[in-house]
Amino acid sequence: MSKRPDLKSDLIFVTPEMAREWLKRNKNNRKLKIHKVAKLRDDLRHGRFRTTHEGLAFNCNGDLKDGQHRLTAIAEEGIGAWMMVTTGLPDEAVIAINRGSIRSVQDNGTMAGYDVNKQDIAVAYVAMSAPAGIAHSACTSEFEVLEFIEKHRTAIEAVRVAPKKRLSVAAVMAAFMRAFPHCPNTAWQRCLHLFMNGVDESFDASKERAIIVFRDYCLTSKSNGYGYAASIDLYRRCQRAIKAFMNAEELKLIKPCEQDLFPLTTKGELI
């Protein structure tokens, strides 16, 4: 039987002052990831930080070996949090920290009881950020994404379509998702149906052409939403196409809209 490690763990409320002091013991640690700190700060600010079995770890000399991102977030944000604090960690055990399989947002969401899939998350990231002219940020908190999906579940589920190459990409589905509460449901459903399936027997070219023009663009475009700039461009073109469809505009070319056509309220809720 191996020797019992002399580790001690306790649940402690870590204040900003404590965090700043403990960060002075941060020696020979990995490079701080600013986007990771930003995520944690955002969670602290909005009350989304969760206490788990993971927390802080100090070695036998009192040097910080795990938790620098959590402590930096607490120190910079000025908000304390409950955390498990372990002392007496042998230096040779450090190589075993954070070596497990990293869970995806979908993994964490499903384990936490959320009904989400990979496409929901991709759509949410674009719907949250593209209107502001930015692509999915590494600083976006997983909690924020999952909360967005829950808040707009009806619209998210409405764009759960069967995958079709070059059509069901996140940028396009995000535009349809944002448009959902702004449009008459029947017209919205018709618009999505034509985009995904093409013209049918009841197709009215004088009123419904815009979405087909955009569909053809998606099928022939070389970028098709891959990459940050292309994703934002495709999102804006799709918004313009949906708006034109709803207004029965007969467009021959779908250009990106210059402003968000289907906005969120100041509280982040769809109108």
pLDDT for the residue numbered 270: 55
Mean pLDDT (the chain) is 89
Distance in angstroms (rounded) separating the CA atoms of residues 58 and 26: 9
Query: Could you tell me the pTM of the whole model?
Result: 0.74
Which H/E stretch holds residue 81? strand 81-89
| Chain mean position to CA 87 | 34
Tens of pLDDT, residue by residue over 94-128, are: 888 776 666 777 877 787 788 899 999 999 999 98
Q: How confident is the model at residue 267 (pLDDT cuts 50, 70, 90)?
A: very low
Given a cut of 70, whether residue 253 has pLDDT beyond it is yes
Q: How confident is the model at residue 268 (pLDDT cuts 50, 70, 90)?
A: very low
Distance in angstroms (rounded) separating the CA atoms of residues 136 and 122: 9
Q: How confident is the model at residue 1 (pLDDT cuts 50, 70, 90)?
A: low
